[in-house]
Each structure stands twice: as structure tokens, then as C-alpha cells.
Amino acid sequence: MTSKATYSTQIREEALGLGFMACGFAKARYLEEEAPRLEQWLSNNYQGEMAWLANHFDKRLDPTKLVPGAKTVVSLLYNYYPEEQQHDSEAPKIAKYAYGEDYHFVLKRKLKDLLAFIQTEIGEVDGRVFVDSAPVMERKWAQEAGLGWRGKNTLLLNKKKGSFFFLAQLIIDLEVDYDEPIKTDHCGTCTRCIDACPTEAILAPNLLDASKCISYLTIELKDSIPPQFEGQMENWAFGCDICQDVCPWNRFSSAHQEPAFKPQPHLLEMTSGDWHEMTEEVFRKVFKKSAVKRTKYMGLQRNLRFLKEAED
């Protein structure tokens, strides 16, 4: 009979072959210790208008409610750190993860390929793929799988790879050899991410008020950006990388090799004038397959106007 260790090796090797930078395994269980933390965070309304974060509370904590009979949560990292960045230092900025094709589609395709491999090579295995679009506590599971620890900015950090990577999960009803969770906080006394956040969204180590986060304000918030944030956005028009850019562990970030994440044509060359004069036709062309489409043209225009007004 094939051993659980063999299953782990097969899956990990296939994942790396598909382009993932790391793959780890955690035993599927109810995350009892996370329940009070999540409940307190929600009761403080730190989720802002992201009401869906309060939905499916039990599913968020228990993978067996997402995949009946689940035995394993496979966590994967996928690099998105770009080779080059926006050229005009005065131009409105977008988060590095949005330079190329929307990661949801790219990673979901790869995860489905991985699941198909498992079902072909190992046997009748039931499972589901998850890419930042379902009630899965992805950072916690990645930590349980030994892929990193939670930084003070709440992001998963890896000693060899930093944090410029996507997280993805595969929940399966196959038992494998599990990895040891990382329990050590390697941030030490460093508070660069907390100190650098211009909107003071990081309230304390590993505690984020998402309703103050620039990524939330420019993407998730559908109403007007509150005037209290005027002059604090540091020219971010979609998302924000500040707490990652200042993190010492990201000195180990290296350029990704994913063709789908290559910047859209002319995106990095856009000047400040190009951004503020952008027509809807140009928006559709430049961000054809990009995650920036989430804001729609009017949403991006709202963000750009807010930045412009702060300058004036």
C-alpha cells in the first residue's frame, strides 16, 4: 500500500512543477483557537463593508464543512514579485499583484490541474480548490502547513521568500504526511510595517483594522473614500504595498517566472497624466484581464479624483 509520505511527495513535486514556489500539508481540523479572535475582530467592525467576512462563520473555521470527510488542507504559495515596477515615480500606483492577469483565474486553473493529477495518480480523492474567494482561513492554514508565520502586518511571511506571493488551498479527503507548523515569530522587535502605514490601519502586531487599509479603501469600499484619509493615501490608486515594501524579509523576494503575471502592455510606462486622463476605452484595454477591473472604471476614477484633490 502506498504510504502517506509518498502521497505528500507526489503532490508537492507536481505542485512545484506547476509553478508553485512552496507546498505544505496540514491536518484538517476545527480551528477552535481562531473562533474567539475572529468573533472579536468582527464585533469591532474591523471588516468595514466586507459583510461576507461575517458569513459562514463555522465553515471558515472547519474545512470539513467545505469538503465532507476532509483530511488534509494543502497550502500553496505562488510568487508574483515583478521584475520591474512603474517607471514614473509621480504616477498613481497600483499593487504589484495587479500588474498582470487576475490571479484568481491563473491559480484556479493550476489548482484544478493539481487536483486532476491527484485523482489520476493516487485514486478516488474528493476535494475542492480555493483561491481567496471562499470562507477559508488561508494564512492560518499556510502557517499550520509550515510555510511561514503571521507578520505584524497580518500577512504570511517566509524567511526565504518574503511575502510577495499568493496563497491558495486545496482541501482533500486524502490523508498524507503532515508538515510541522511554524510557531516562531521571526519578526522580533521590528515594527517597520506598523510605523510605515500612513492610515494607521495596523493597530497592533497582527491586528488590522481593514476599514482603514488603503487596499480596502481603493478596492472594497463602494462609497466615497472618507475625507479623514485625504493626504494619507501616498498616491495609491488600487491596493497598497507599503507594509510589504518596508518589510526586511522581502529583501529575499525574487522576480516571478509566470508569463500570465507579466505587466499589461504600456502599464508600467503610464505617466501621471496618462492615469488622470484615462478614458473608459483605455481602461478596458489596459486592464482587460487585470484584477483592477474589480473597481470598474468609475471606481478607479473615484480613487484618482481623491488623490488629485489631495494634491490640490
Annotated catalytic residue, options 132, 173, 177, 274: 132
* Predicted local distance difference test score (pLDDT) of residue 312: 66
Q: At a CB cut-off of 8 Å and minimum separation 6, what does 80 contact?
A: 96, 97, 100, 103, 164, 165, 166, 256, 258, 261
Residue 140 lies in a domain: yes
Three-state secondary structure string covering the chain: CCCHHHHHHHHHHHHHHCCCCEEEEEECCCCHHHHHHHHHHHHCCCCCCCHHHHCCHHHHHCHHHCCCCCCEEEEEEEECCCCCCCCCCCCCEECHHHCCCCHHHHHHHHHHHHHHHHHHHCCCCCEEEECCCCCCCHHHHHHHCCCCEECCCCCEEECCCECCEEEEEEEECCCCCCCCCCCCCCCCCCCHHHHHCCCCCEEECCEECHHHCHHHHHHHCCCCCCHHHCCCCCCEEECCCHHHHCCHHHHHCCCCCCHHHCCCCCCCCCCHHHHHCCCHHHHHHHCCCCHHHHHHHHHHHHHHHHHHHHHC
Number of compact structural domains in the chain: 1
Q: What is the residue range of 43's domain?
A: 1-307
Q: What is the pLDDT along the chain (312 residues), one digit of tens a residue?
A: 469 999 999 999 999 999 999 999 999 999 999 999 999 999 999 999 998 888 888 999 999 999 999 999 999 999 999 999 999 999 999 999 999 999 999 999 999 999 999 999 999 999 999 998 788 999 999 999 999 999 999 999 999 999 999 999 999 999 999 999 998 999 999 999 999 999 999 999 999 999 999 999 999 999 999 999 999 999 999 999 999 999 999 999 999 999 999 998 889 999 999 999 999 999 999 999 999 999 999 999 999 999 998 776
Residue 297 inside a domain? The answer is yes
- The reply to whether 312 falls in a domain is no
Q: Does residue 253 fall inside a structural domain?
A: yes
Q: Is 223 a catalytic residue?
A: no
CB atoms within 10 A of CB 215: 18
The residues, any chain, with a CB within 8 Å of residue 202's CB and separated by 6 or more, are 152, 153, 154, 193, 194, 208, 209, 243
In a domain, 55, yes or no: yes
pLDDT of residue 196: 98
pTM flag (> 0.85) = yes
pLDDT at residue 15 in the model: 98
Residue 191 lies in a domain: yes
